[in-house]
Amino acid sequence: MNVIHVPSNVNLEKNNFNFLRLLFASMVVIGHCRDLSGFKYPILIIVDTHIAVCGFFIISGFLITKSCLYTRGLKEYFIKRAKRLLPAYFLVIILAAFVLSLFSSLSFREYFFSLGFCKYIVANLMFMNFLCPSLPGVFNGKAINGALWTIKIEVAFYIVIPFIILFLKKLDNLKKRNVFLGAVYISAILYRSVCLYLKNISNSNIIDKLEHQFPGFMQYFAFGIFMLLNYDRIQRHEKKWIVPAIIIFGLHYITKTEFLMPVALGLLVIFVSFHFTQLNNIGKHIDFSYGIYVFHFPIIQLLVSIGVFACNKYIGILLVLGSVFSIAYNRGNFLSANSWVGKKDIRILKNNLGLNRLRVYDDTTMRGKVFMGFIALIMLSHYTRQC
């Protein structure tokens, strides 16, 4: 089995991926406020939720592949992914199902004993949101959380990436690996093109659902993997590709095609991620983006249904942003993938011990201080490796 050479953690440590994820999550929230409220916001016409979602997939292709390569075994890899993804995902489904009973047109008995309630819980917990997107008597049958369809695509990638890596390791050089990733990219483009063609001639809901499944977005993950494997070369030649990437990205809005858009978007993502060092600390200790993403949709639907946006569309957006950022902050503190004691807490413990100042009054105190410092360093290393 051949070794896949990727950049070291030291080379990738200072990046703006958290900033970009926060930016993409905010774009999705603002775009959904515009779309679900039905009001026009002239300044928000440039917000493209599709680009934001695709940006998430590119970042996942890069980071999840790196995580899988650096994780010692599949068990540890899947545990890390589950800890990051599942707590907030399950919470938003259960919480919405119970809290929104207060806003249902049905009585509590009719609501909780209805087939629709059970179907919503089961289908959404199994990542099959398209089977039952609504709750009985809530929001006039509209989707409770229309943003969750992307989570099943992420989960599918989490499952597939170990097999992709296993296949890549069987290829003995980078060129062959790039050819394989290119084949995956083209296959995904063809799948999406066929779906779009069939949808245009048949107007079928089934085709629309098939278009928004994992194979239709695999090109973004594939290019994220490509950027990781070719990181050093991409960085060396960035002056050659940055302008063409901007031009191609802009042209896709004119041509209405996405054949090269994932490449252009991916190159722009990697450029922003490893430049503008002043953005490095945004979201460094708390990942707001996932909490913002999974919780925003039902909050928007609720505020729309009770007439907040009808009173003032700008206050509606501000209330949504304030709510989801508050929830995401608390989720980062209490429902994060690590534990109740996080990396930041361990670092504070280490600093408070003052290991660079070992002046003590007796030998026993010194040994105790060094021992506690050693434990703090081990814990810090553990949490750093899990991120």
The tokens describing 198, both together, are 């069939």
Check the CA dihedral 5-10-13-15 and report its sign. Answer: negative
Please check whether residue 91 is in contact with residue 59, taking contact to mean a CB–CB distance below 8 angstroms: no
Which of 316, 298, 318, 376 minimizes the C-alpha distance to 135? 298
Mean pLDDT of 312-330: 90
Per-residue pLDDT band at 63 (split at 50, 70, 90): very high
Tell me the percentage of the chain whose pLDDT exceeds 70: 83
How far apart are alpha carbons 210 and 133 in whole angstroms? 16
pLDDT tens column, 351-362: 554 545 545 445
Residue 61 has pLDDT above 60, yes or no: yes
CB 105 within 8 A of CB 137: yes
Phi, psi of 91 (to 5 degrees): -65, -45
Cut 0.85: pTM above it? no
Q: State yes or no: pLDDT of 81 exceeds 60.
A: yes
pLDDT average, residue stretch 232-248: 92
Q: What is residue 30's DSSP assignment?
A: H
User: Is 340's pLDDT higher than 50?
Assistant: no
pLDDT value for 387:
47
Closest to 151 measured CA to CA, from 231, 84, 97? 84
- Taking only the tens place, the pLDDT of each residue in 359-387 is 544 554 555 555 555 555 555 554 454 44
User: Is residue 139 predicted with pLDDT exceeding 60?
Assistant: yes
Per-residue pLDDT at 336: 47
pLDDT in tens, 220-238: 999 999 999 999 899 889 8
pLDDT at 14 over 60: yes
